[in-house]
Chain A
Amino acid sequence: MKTKKIVSLVLASMLVVSSFTACAGGKSGNGIVDMTMFAAMAGKEKDEGNEIKELIAQKTGVRVKESWLTGQNAGEAIGSIIASGKLPDFIDGGDGSIQLYQNKLLVAWDPYLEKYPNLKEMYTAEEWDKFRQDDGKIYWANVFGNHYKDDTTTGHNGEAFWIQARVLEAYGYPKIETLDQYFEILEKYAKENPTLPNGTKVIPYTCLCEDWKYYCLENAPMFLDGYPNDGCVIVNIDEGADKPKVVDYNTTDTAKAYFKKLNEEYAKGNIDPDFAVQTYDEYISKLSTGAVLGLCDQYWDFAYNIMGPFASPLKASDGSQFRLDELGCDYVPLGLTAKAGMENQWHSYGDELNNASGCAVTTACKDPELAFKFLNSLLDQEIHDLRFWGVKDVDYKVDDKGCYYRTEEMRENWKSDSYKAKHSCEYSYMPQWMGMSKDGKNYMQPAEQPAEFLAGLAAPLKKCFEAYGAGNYADMVGSKYVVTETALPWYPLWSWSNGVSTDTPGGTAWKKMGEVKHKWLPAIVISKDFEADWAAYMDAYKGCNPQDFLTEAQAEVDARLKTAQSHGWKPAA
């Protein structure tokens, strides 16, 4: 009896104690410090004990465990991190970055920039100024699209109407300039080739419209009218680059024509009937089957996720093996416009500075000194090579001139998701370079090394580029050569609109406009009475007071222009 009483007392007290204690983190042996990073983006986790991660840890003394969005959207993820107070050491808050700053959860870069030359070198003083918040300090640095010396881009990371190379090949690589031509060959090809060798039914066109990624559906009218990706509005410079005028692309004739076209194609069955209800995961798995002939999206949003499946062998219905990339399922970008013969700006040349988000160190980091030292080391050429090229002789070879190259097997390895999980460690949301390597011979990232880029393309893709006389993806889009960073000082304006809060009338209008568009855009695509629904949509849209937003957008453009002019900017002659 006595023992029973004691046991129950012990259990009761344990219950109380357990509600107070929380678990505490630890340090691993051999002086390596474990840190964490959260990026408010979809991504792939690395395996425990990832080989290159260990190599980097030995050289820098820091090992970072990265985690990604799981199901929720970026804003919600950052919101719950702030609310729970459970911060990682490093964070890329995406759209929520400004909230992290306002809640005083980030460590300022300023003192460390002076100490760590690699970090400071990432941007010019003028560029760093763009990252300054209202307290005059820098809290994050965007890590993408930043070229060391020259722009050597081979890719097209931005948005385009993409089409499988095999569709173009089937009709002798025709010139496709408009939506009409685009949907015409998609429809024709799907009729003539209704299934893949394994029996999967093809889908002529799909379109993601989940959460903020509904840009795939939403912003094409801006590009179709020949403007670059300012994301929230068109900035018209007909009267000169020093007199920019903000225009709403949602209500233009092009917008109406575009949605009418989608509506017609949907009725004809050329658009995926599930496009409006699919999640991002479903979208990616759909693309991974090779069934989707065409889509509108930004490269980074889909391409990296389908490389693995496209390069792995599949079994055809007749028992033979085939690979999607060898079949010509790889996507090539098309720079479509509202009318044939117009100039387009789907591709923007030069670096694109997004000051709205980036890699940051949080106040939860116990040793910010070490954190910044680590970020600095990541930009050392030796470690940068480890991140993007891999281990010498395992992942790349060096020829007698000192140029890096990969063998076919190495290339295949780097397309395989399981190999990458176990072996490669890009720390892809931490500071990095594109462009020429510091040795002056190689390139920072293999995809930019011209020989490596071409060798890495599947045969049908290479054939397609050759047929159009394009050396790479950017040539394929065929945009007007505008170095947006210098020609359009407010560009990209989405780095502002992504961060507007509901505190101002313009911000509230922006939120409401988003809600109306989220609801109506897919609805007008599937509508049985386009004209009536378009009118209803326009009514609902006007009810959001879009003018409030446009006024604030114009003010932001003017402010950015003024800043640039104070640094001596002048419109190109």
Chain B
Amino acid sequence: MLLLTCPNCGIAAEETELGAGGEAHITRYGAGSADDDFETYLFMRKNARGVHFERWRHSNGCGKWFHAARCTMTLEVFGTYSAQTFEPPKDLIKKIKKKRPDWEGFVK
């Protein structure tokens, strides 16, 4: 059972307190967008094997959303950060790169 620290309230929360929200940093394409863009937005997910950025909600806690950087293979948590951002914080990316030198880096 995963343990993620909610950056909004600072609690190290158990998975039962959290709701998973899928991949993070997805760009929304709304009315008038091209078919390809809309398809990417609605259906295409990385399903990464390794470093992955995802959305979580502290649903049985403070109720706030946040983002987590996690390894889908080892379940190592590199860090959690605000959901109000377009990409992961620079220092987090640096930290992951150090731990996973072969990682391709954050690709939106």
**A and B: partners?**
no
A residues neighboring B (CB under 8 Å): none
